[in-house]
Amino acid sequence: MTGEVTPPEVSPLEVMRATYPRIDVRQALLVDTGTVVTGGGVSLRIDTTLHLLAIMLGPDVAAETARILEYNRAWRTNRDAFAPVTEA
């Protein structure tokens, strides 16, 4: 160690809010406005894909895909922690 002080980590959401004040930035599993769907974080992109599969091909296809990916528990946990924001 050289004794250097690292600045505190800045939340990407706070950076986005500061940089683009006209954008409604939300902390959510995903945001679906009906025309735009966004999801945050690496694993939450899987949740966003499962959401799109449910919309396009039905909830059974999304559930089976989550099962095949061995992602059932994570998907359920993420939905409980961060409810999707749907505005369609």
pLDDT digits (tens, 9 = 90+) for 29-84: 888 888 888 887 777 788 899 999 999 999 999 999 999 999 989 888 888 877 77
Q: Of residues 8 and 40, which shows the higher confidence score? A: 8
Give which of 77, 53, 73 is closest to 65, Cα–Cα: 53
pTM above 0.75, yes or no: no
Mean pLDDT of 17-23: 94
Q: How many CB atoms lie within 10 A of CB 12?
A: 11
Contact 87, 33 (CB under 8 A): yes
The whole-angstrom separation of Cα 1 and Cα 15 is 29
Copy the structure tokens of residue 26. Answer: 């939300």
User: In the β-sheet with 30-32, what is the strand arrangement from edge to edge?
Assistant: 37-39, 30-32, 85-86
